[in-house]
Amino acid sequence: MRLSILGVLLPALVLAACATDRQTPTEASENGRRAPSAVASLTAPVDGSDAGYARADEVVELSFPMDHGPHPDFQTEWWYLTANLETTDGRRYGLQWTIFRRALRPSQPFRDSSWATRQVYLGHFAITDVERGRQHSFERLARGAVGLAGSELEAGGPLRVWLEDWSLTSSEKGTASFPWTLRANGLGDSGGEPTISAEIDVRPSKPLVLQGDRGLSRKNSMAGGASYYYSFTRLAARGVLRIGDRHESVTGTAWLDREWSTSVLAPDQTGWDWFSLQLDDGRDLMVYRLRLEGGGIDQASSGALVGPSGEKTPLAVDDFTLGVLERWTSPKGTTYPIAWRLQLPKQGLDLEIRAVVADQELDVAFRYWEGAVDVTGIGSESGRGYVELVGYGD
Amino acid sequence: MTRILRRTFLRHLLRHPWQTGLTGLGVALAVSIVVGIDLANASAERAFDLAIEAVAGRTTHEVIGGPDGLNESLYTELRSSGEPWARRSAPVVEGRISIGDARRSLRLLGLDPFAEPALRDLGADVFSVDDGALGDLLVEPRTVALAASLADELGVDVGDSLEVTTANGTAVVRLVSRIRPRDELARRAARDLLVADVATAQELLGQVGRLDRIDLRLVDGEADAIRSWLSERSGSVEGIEIRPVAARSGALDQMTRAFRLNLEALSLLALLVGVFLVHNTLTFSVVRRRPLLGRLRALGVQRRELLSLVLLEGAVLGGIATAVGLVLGLVLAEGLLGLVVRTINDLYFAVEVQNVSIDLRALAKGGLLGVGGSLLAALAPAREATTSPPRWALLRSQFEQRTLRSAPRLAAAGLLLCLLASALLAWPSRSLPIAFAAIFVFVLGFAGLVPAATVAASHLATPLMGRGAGLVGQKILGRMAARGVAGSLSRTGVAMAALTLAVATTLGVQVMILSFRATLVDWLETTLQADVYVAAQLRSGGPAQTLGAHWTRVVSDLPGVESVVSQYRTQALVQRADGTLDPIPARLAATRVDRRGFDIFRILEGDERGLYEQFASGHGVLVSEPFAYHRDLGVGDTIRLMADDGVGDFPILAVYSDYATDRGIVTFHRDHFEQHFRVAGERNHSLGLFLASDRNIDDFVDDLERRLEEVHSDRPNHEPLPRVVANAELKRLSLEIFDRTFAITGVLRLLAIGVAFLGVLSALMALQLERARELGVLRATGLTPGQVWGLVTLQTGVMGSIAGLLSLPLGAALAALLVHVINKRSFGWTLAYQLPPMALVQALGLALVAALLAGLYPAWKMSRSSPALALREE
C-alpha cells in the first residue's frame, strides 16, 4: 500500500518542496522557510476534486508486463523499491528508492509548449548506513515533460521511469524484462554529508503477487477508496553503492511495490504502519495497519503472507496483532514506534521487529519514517525488512 | 559688536524682500532643476538595478545563447548531468508584455516552479500557492500570477482576465494567483512582473522550444566546470556562453549615460544662471551699502569682519534658497521622472519606475552646489566691500569709474577663457565631460565680455536712442536711458551677463533641437522611401511585434507592388577584443532588400560601388554611424557577435547614416542573417512596399487593408491585424517620437528661462528701485511722472535689447557646440547645423520682453513716488 496518503498529498509536497528548498541537504535554504501547512491536514483531500480520473473501483485483470508501465489516467502512481544490502565483509545498508507520479488535472488541454504537462514526479532516495547508524535522504521534484521526468513502456521496449538522472530502467531486450536497474544519487555538503550514489540491478526470485482481491486493494469503506496494487516481494539485488569516498559492492534482497489509484483516504484515517518483511525461511510478509482518529484501527487494514514459491495467503485485519515495544523521538520532535511485536496466530508466527537504526526519519519536505528493520522470531523465522510509518508528526 | 553687525547685514536682506525673494526663488529653482534631474535619473537607474537584483535572487551566473536563446533540451541535459551545479539551475523565459492600452509595460517571467526554490525566493513565493492554482499555472494555458499590489492597481482579482500584448500578439490571460512576496526587494521587483510557468511564457511570447537563459547558483570554480561541460556536449553547434549576472546590471547605466549627462549639464547651466543671480544680488547689496561700509570701516571694523559678513549674507541667502530648492527638486523630480522614463523607454530599455527614490547623494550634490555656488558668487562682492579704502567707499562715482575701467580687464580674462575652451575642444578626445567643461568655460568667458560689450553698446545706442526719442520730443530722455546703462555698470553688468547667458542657453538648446529635427527630417526622406509600410504595430514602446511569413506573401502578391523591403530586428551580444561580453547587446536588423530599396541606406563611409552585391551575397554587414563611432570601428574592421550558431566575426562593409537609435545598428542581409541566426517562422517587424509609378497610393492602401482583413479573418489566431501606414504618416509618427523624446529637454529649457526671468526681474527691479533718489532729483527738476515712467521703461528696454543681441552669438555658438561636439560625443550622430532666423528673433524678443516686464513695477513705483520722499536719505 505504501504511502498512498503521500500520493494523495503530492500537490502539497510540491508546495512544500517549493517552499522549503530542500532538494538535497546541500541546497538547504539559508533562511527559514514557511512550514508546509497543507501537509498538516493528512486526511483532507487537498486537491479540490478527483472527478474525471480513472478509478480503482473494480477488479480488473492486470496485464503484465504492460502494467509495469505508467497509468497516467489515474491520479497517483508509484514505483517503490526497498532493499536490505550487504557487502562481502558484512557491512549492512538499507536502501529506499521511490518515484511518485501525480496528475494535477484529469486531462490536458492542447498546448504548443512541450513544457506543459499535468504530470508531476517526486522522487525519494535514502540510504541507511547501519554501521555508522545514519540515514541519508534526498528528494527531487520535476514536471513530467521535456525529458526532465517521466515513465514509459511500450510493447517490445524497455520500462523507463526517471526523474532527471534518477531512474529505474529494464533491460534493453524485450518488454520490461529483467534485470531492472535502479540509479540514484544525492549531493553531499560542506557540513559532512557525503555524496551518495547507487546503481543496483534487481531480478525477481519469486513471481509477482497481486495484493488485495486480484490486485484491487481496499483502503477504506468509501466508494473508490482502493488502489491497484502488486508487489515483487523478493528480488535479488546486486550493485554498487558510493558513500563519500567508499565504493561498496553490495548484494541483498529487494522488495518492489507498484500501486496506482485515484483514492482519497477516509476523513478519519490519520496514518498507517506498513511492514514488508522477508523471512529467512523464504516466506515474505506484508501487513499494513491503518490508524484512525482516537487510536482505533481501520477494518480495511490487511496484509498477505507469500510462501517460498509465491503462493499467497491473504490476511484480514483480524488475522494479525501488532504491539509497540519501543518508541523513539526524532530530532524534529516526532515520536515514532521503532520496535514491535507482530503476531499471526493462525500461522503461528510471533515476530519481534526492530529498526536497525532508530533515526530513519526522512529529511524531506513531508517527513515520515521509512527504515530497514531486523526480524527475530523462533528459529528460522528471523529475517529483514522495511517499515514505513506515516502520520505521526506535524 | 559682531552680533549687531551680523544682524544689521542680514536685516538688509529683509529690507528688500522683493529683490531677495526673487533672487532666492531663482536660485531655488536652479537648485531644484539640478536635484530634480538627478533624482529622476537615479530613480530610473535604481528601479532598473533593483528589478535585475530581485529577479536574480541568489543567481550568480547565467547560461545564454544567441538572440534566439537556448534550445530547451540544454536544460534537460544539464539537469540530468549528475553534476553538482545541475541542482542549482533554473530555466527562464522572459519578455516584454504590456497590459491593456500599452500604458503599463511589464515583464513576463516564465519560470519552472520545481527549480525555483534553489535560486529565487520570488519564484518560490509565486508557486507557493494552493494546489488548485498550481495546477492551473502548470496545466492550463494563458494563466499568470501577479503581485497583489499590481493586481490591485490593475483592478483585477483571481479568476479575472487581462488582455496582454507581447511580441507574439495579443492574448487574454487569466489571473490565477496573487503573489505576496515576503521581502521588500522581491516586492518591488514583483510590481512590474507577470509570472507564469515556462510553458505559458513560451507560448505567449512565441518562443516554443526556446529558453532565454538558464540561471545558476555557482560556487567557486564551477563556472569553468560548466564551460567545459558545455564544450564537451556532443552535437552542439549553438553559441552558448556563461557569464556572471552582475555583468547585466550596469547595462542601463552605460546605455543611458550620455543621455543623462546631457540632462545634467543642462541643469547645471541653469544653476550657473542662478549663481550669477546671487552674485548680482550681493554685488548690488554691497554697492548700495557702500556708504554704510565706508562708515563701518571708518569706525574701525576690520576688513576680515566685513568679508565674513558679506560671505555670511551670501551663505544665508544661498542656504535658504537651496533648502527651498531641495524641496522643490523633490516635487519637480516627480514630474521629470515620467519624462525621463518615457525617453529611456522609447530609446533604450523598458523600465517601469513608480516613484522617485530619495537619493541622498543627489540631495547632497544639489545642496553643495547651491550653497557653494552662492558663496563663490559672494566672494567678489565681499572682497569689493573690504578692499576699498574707507574714504573711497563713500564715493559712488569713484566706484562706478573703477567698474568701468575694470571692464576691459574683465573682457581680457573672458577672452582668455574662451581661448581655453577652444583649446579644450580642439583636444583630440571623445570625452563628454571634457566637452561639457569646455562649454562651461566658454560660457563663463563670454560672460566676462558682457560688461565691456554693454559699455560699447550703450555708447553706440546713446545717439540712436536720442534720435529715436527725439521723434517724440524726448531726446534727452532717450540719451539718458542709454547712457545710464553704462553709467551704472556696477549694477547692470552682472544682471546683463545673467540675462545674456540665460537667453543664450535657451537659444542654444532650441537651435540644437531644431538642427536635430531638420537632420532627422532629411534622413527620413532618404530612409523612408517606400510608398507604404506594413507592420505589426506602429507605436514604439511595449513589446516589439512581428509579422508572420504569410503576410509577406500576401503583401507581395498584391497588384502594383514592385518591390518589398523587409526588416526583422533583434539583438545580440558583442564580444570585446579581450573575449568578455559587452553588457549592452548590439541591435541587429535583417533586411531583405533589392537594388532599388538599397538606396534607403545613406552611406557615410565605404565604397558604394559593388556594395549592394557584397551586402546581398553575405560578405559583411552595414553598421550605423553611432555603432561605428562608439566602438571606434570603420570599414574593414570586424564585429564579433554571439550568433545562434556560435560566435562569429562579421566584416563591416560600410557605415551608414541612422538616427533611429544611438546604440547603433548592425544591418545584415536577410539571407546572410539566416545563415547565423534563427528566425522563427520567417518573421518580420516591418515591410516597406515600393509601388509601380502608376499606382495611386490611396487606392492601394484601401486594397491592401481590405486584403489584410480578409486574410486575418480567415486565420482566427491571436496574431493581430497588421497595420498599414503610408509614407507620410510614418514620417509624422517618427517625428512625433522625436518630439516626445525631446520633451524633457524642452521642459528644462523652459525652466532655465524661468530662472533667467526671475534673475532679470530681480536685478532690474533692484536697479531701478535703487535709483529712486536719482529719479527723485529728476522729478524735482521737473520730470513728469509719465517721463519717469518712460525713462525707466526705456532703460530696461535698452538693457534687454543689448543682452538679447549679445545672447545671439553666444547662443549660436552654444548650439554649434551642442550639435557638433556634444551630440557627436554623446550619441555618435552627425547633425546638420541650422540657424533659423526665427529662433534669433525669438531670443531677442524674449530678452526684451523679460526686461520690459521687469521694468514695469519699478517704473510704476517711481512715477508715483513723491520726489521729496525719494530725496530723503535713508
Residues of A in Cβ contact (< 8 Å) with B208: 112-114
Q: Does A32 touch chain B (CB under 8 A)?
A: no
Question: Are B626 and B772 contained in the same domain?
Answer: no
Is B80–A147 a contact, with Cβ atoms under 8 angstroms apart?
Answer: yes
Question: Are B235 and B281 contained in the same domain?
Answer: no
d(CA A101, CA A121): 5
Chain A and chain B share a number of CB contacts under 8 A equal to 129
Q: Specify the length of chain A in residues.
A: 394
Nearest CA in chain B to A10: B131
Residues of B in Cβ contact (< 8 Å) with A116: 138-139, 141, 197, 199-200, 203
Is B208–A24 a contact, with Cβ atoms under 8 angstroms apart?
Answer: no
SS3 (DSSP) at A24: coil
d(CA B252, CA B585): 11
SS3 (DSSP) at B422: helix
Task: Indicate the residue type of B484.
Answer: G
Kindly list the structural domains of chain A, giving each domain's residue range(s) and its CATH number in brackets, ordered by start.
4-26+64-390 (2.40.370.10)
d(CA B108, CA B193): 6
Gyration radius of chain B over CA positions:
33
Residues of B in Cβ contact (< 8 Å) with A17: 114, 117
Q: Does A11 touch chain B (CB under 8 A)?
A: yes
Number of Cβ within 10 Å of residue B640's Cβ equals 17
Determine, yes or no, domain membership for B424. Answer: no
With a CB cutoff of 8 Å and minimum separation 6, the contacts of B430 are B825
Chain B contacts to A (CB-CB under 8 A): 72-73, 75-76, 79-82, 84, 86-88, 112-114, 116-118, 121, 124, 127-132, 134-135, 138-141, 197-200, 202-203, 208-209
Determine, yes or no, domain membership for B536. Answer: no
Chain A interface disruption, residue of B79, B92, B177, B203, most A CBs within 10 A: B79
Is A115–B112 a contact, with Cβ atoms under 8 angstroms apart?
Answer: yes
Region A174-188: what's the mean pLDDT?
Answer: 91
Residue A224: the pLDDT is 72
Contact (Cβ atoms closer than 8 angstroms) between residue A362 and residue A20: no
DSSP-assigned letter for residue A35: P
What is the number of structural domains in chain B? 4
Question: Are B341 and B356 contained in the same domain?
Answer: yes
The predicted-structure confidence for B53-106, as pLDDT tens digits, reads as follows 777 778 888 898 888 888 899 999 999 988 888 889 999 999 888 887 656 778
Is B86–A164 a contact, with Cβ atoms under 8 angstroms apart?
Answer: yes
Region B153-169: what's the mean pLDDT?
Answer: 86
Is A113–B199 a contact, with Cβ atoms under 8 angstroms apart?
Answer: yes
DSSP-assigned letter for residue B692: P
Given B374, B389, B404, the domain boundary residue is B389
Residues of B in Cβ contact (< 8 Å) with A46: 131
Determine, yes or no, domain membership for B176. Answer: yes
Given B196, B227, B244, the domain boundary residue is B244
Residue A238: the pLDDT is 97
Residue B267: the pLDDT is 80
Residues of A in Cβ contact (< 8 Å) with B83: none
The predicted-structure confidence for B312-360, as pLDDT tens digits, reads as follows 888 888 899 899 999 998 888 888 888 887 777 766 666 667 677 778 8
- Tell me how far the alpha carbon of residue B782 is from its chain's centroid: 57
Determine, yes or no, domain membership for B370. Answer: yes
The predicted-structure confidence for A73-122, as pLDDT tens digits, reads as follows 998 999 999 999 999 999 999 999 999 999 988 988 899 999 999 999 99
Contact (Cβ atoms closer than 8 angstroms) between residue B96 and residue B350: yes
**At A1, is the pLDDT very low, low, confident or very high (cuts 50, 70, 90)?**
very low
To the nearest whole angstrom, how far is the Cα of A325 from the nearest Cα of chain B?
Answer: 39
SS3 (DSSP) at A216: strand
pLDDT at A324 over 90: yes
Q: Does A29 touch chain B (CB under 8 A)?
A: yes
Q: What are phi and psi of B633, to 5 degrees?
A: -115, 160
Chain B interface disruption, residue of A8, A33, A107, A113, most B CBs within 10 A: A113
Number of Cβ within 10 Å of residue B444's Cβ equals 19
Question: Are B86 and B104 contained in the same domain?
Answer: yes
Question: Are B47 and B130 contained in the same domain?
Answer: no
CA A354-A187-A185 angle, 5° bins: 65
Question: Are B148 and B133 contained in the same domain?
Answer: yes
Question: Are B697 and B601 contained in the same domain?
Answer: yes
Nearest CA in chain A to B141: A111
CA B465-B468-B472 angle, 5° bins: 125
State the virtual CA torsion across A155, A161, A165, A166 in degrees, nearest 10. -140
User: Whose grid coordinates read 528673433?
Assistant: B841
ipTM of the assembly?
0.88
Instruction: Report the mean per-residue pLDDT for chain A.
Output: 85
Residues of A in Cβ contact (< 8 Å) with B128: 15, 18-19, 34
DSSP A137-206: EEEEEEESSTTSEEEE--TTS--EEEETTEEEE--SSSSSPSPEEEEEEE---TTSPPPEEEEEEEEESS
Contact (Cβ atoms closer than 8 angstroms) between residue B840 and residue B808: yes
Give CA separation, B23 vs B124, B285, B444, in Å: 56, 12, 20
Question: Are B463 and B552 contained in the same domain?
Answer: no
Determine, yes or no, domain membership for B571. Answer: yes
The predicted-structure confidence for A231-257, as pLDDT tens digits, reads as follows 999 999 999 999 988 999 999 999 999
Candidates A18, A22, A105; nearest CB to B113: A18
Q: Which of residues 97-116 of A touch B (CB under 8 A)?
A: 104-105, 108-109, 111-116
DSSP-assigned letter for residue A361: B
**At A363, is the pLDDT very low, low, confident or very high (cuts 50, 70, 90)?**
confident
Q: Does A20 touch chain B (CB under 8 A)?
A: yes
Q: Does A119 touch chain B (CB under 8 A)?
A: no
Range(s) of the domain holding residue B132: 60-244
The predicted-structure confidence for B297-306, as pLDDT tens digits, reads as follows 777 778 888 8
Given B217, B244, B271, the domain boundary residue is B244
Region B795-804: what's the mean pLDDT?
Answer: 86
Determine, yes or no, domain membership for B534. Answer: no
Strand partners for A389: A273, A369
Contact (Cβ atoms closer than 8 angstroms) between residue B331 and residue B358: no
Give CA separation, A236 vs A82, A178, A251, in Å: 12, 11, 8
Region B489-515: what's the mean pLDDT?
Answer: 83
Question: Are B89 and B204 contained in the same domain?
Answer: yes
Candidates B72, B86, B138; nearest CB to A146: B72
**At A334, is the pLDDT very low, low, confident or very high (cuts 50, 70, 90)?**
very high
Contact (Cβ atoms closer than 8 angstroms) between residue B583 and residue B254: yes
Give CA separation, B559 vs B562, B565, B686, B689, in Å: 8, 16, 19, 11
State the virtual CA torsion across A45, A46, A51, A53 in degrees, nearest 10. -100
Residue A39: the pLDDT is 29
To the nearest whole angstrom, how far is the Cα of B134 from the nearest Cα of chain A?
Answer: 8
Nearest CA in chain A to B131: A11
Region B255-259: what's the mean pLDDT?
Answer: 75
DSSP A230-299: EEEEEEEEEEEEEETTEEEEEEEEEEEEEEEE-----TTEEEEEEEEEEETTS-EEEEEEEEEGGG-B-T
Handedness of CA B289, B291, B295, B301 (dihedral sign): positive
Buried b (16+ CB within 10 A) or exposed e, B478-495: bbbbbbbbbbbbbbbbbb
The predicted-structure confidence for B101-123, as pLDDT tens digits, reads as follows 656 778 899 999 888 888 877 77
Residue A49: the pLDDT is 61
Question: Are B856 and B747 contained in the same domain?
Answer: yes
Is A26–B84 a contact, with Cβ atoms under 8 angstroms apart?
Answer: yes
Region A228-232: what's the mean pLDDT?
Answer: 95
d(CA A53, CA A105): 8
Residue A22: the pLDDT is 35
Chain A interface disruption, residue of B60, B78, B130, B131, most A CBs within 10 A: B131
Q: Does A75 touch chain B (CB under 8 A)?
A: no
Return left, alpha or beta for B235; rule: phi > 0 is left, psi -120 to 50 is alpha, else beta.
left
Question: Are B348 and B264 contained in the same domain?
Answer: yes
**At B250, is the pLDDT very low, low, confident or very high (cuts 50, 70, 90)?**
low
To the nearest whole angstrom, how far is the Cα of B108 from the nearest Cα of chain A?
Answer: 16
Question: Are B316 and B410 contained in the same domain?
Answer: no
**At A46, is the pLDDT very low, low, confident or very high (cuts 50, 70, 90)?**
very low
d(CA B211, CA B89): 13
Is B128–A34 a contact, with Cβ atoms under 8 angstroms apart?
Answer: yes
Of the listed ranges A150-159, A286-295, B212-221, B740-749, the least confidently predicted one is B740-749
Determine, yes or no, domain membership for B80. Answer: yes
d(CA B513, CA A321): 94
B75 versus B294: which is more confidently predicted? B75
Contact (Cβ atoms closer than 8 angstroms) between residue B777 and residue B869: no
Residues of B in Cβ contact (< 8 Å) with A105: 135, 139-140
Candidates A14, A33, A113; nearest CB to B134: A14
Residues of A in Cβ contact (< 8 Å) with B113: 14, 18
Residues of A in Cβ contact (< 8 Å) with B87: 23-24, 26-27, 187
Give CA separation, A56 vs A228, A260, A268, B396, B420, in Å: 6, 8, 21, 112, 93
Determine, yes or no, domain membership for B436. Answer: no
- Strand B586-592 and strand B665-669: the pairing is parallel
With a CB cutoff of 8 Å and minimum separation 6, the contacts of B61 are B215, B216, B217, B218, B223, B226, B242, B243, B244, B245
Q: Integer distance in angstroms from the first to the last C-alpha of chain B?
A: 22
Contact (Cβ atoms closer than 8 angstroms) between residue B589 and residue B572: no
Chain B interface disruption, residue of A9, A41, A115, A161, most B CBs within 10 A: A115
To the nearest whole angstrom, how far is the Cα of A142 from the nearest Cα of chain B?
Answer: 6
Is A115–B131 a contact, with Cβ atoms under 8 angstroms apart?
Answer: no
Q: Does A380 touch chain B (CB under 8 A)?
A: no
**At A37, is the pLDDT very low, low, confident or very high (cuts 50, 70, 90)?**
very low
- Closest CA relative to residue B145, chosen from B153, B154, B133: B133
Range with the largest mean pLDDT of A23-32, A346-355, B252-261: A346-355
Instruction: Report the mean per-residue pLDDT for chain B.
Output: 82
DSSP-assigned letter for residue B598: G
Q: What are phi and psi of B635, to 5 degrees?
A: -60, 135
Of the listed ranges A225-234, A317-326, B143-152, B487-496, the least confidently predicted one is B487-496
pLDDT at A8 over 50: no
- Closest CA relative to residue B295, chosen from B17, B7, B8: B8
SS3 (DSSP) at B178: strand
To the nearest whole angstrom, how far is the Cα of B526 from the nearest Cα of chain A?
Answer: 42
pLDDT at A24 over 60: no
Of the listed ranges A73-77, A190-194, B139-143, B153-157, the least confidently predicted one is A190-194
Contact (Cβ atoms closer than 8 angstroms) between residue B636 and residue B59: no
Nearest CA in chain B to A15: B128
d(CA B854, CA B768): 10
Is B81–A142 a contact, with Cβ atoms under 8 angstroms apart?
Answer: no
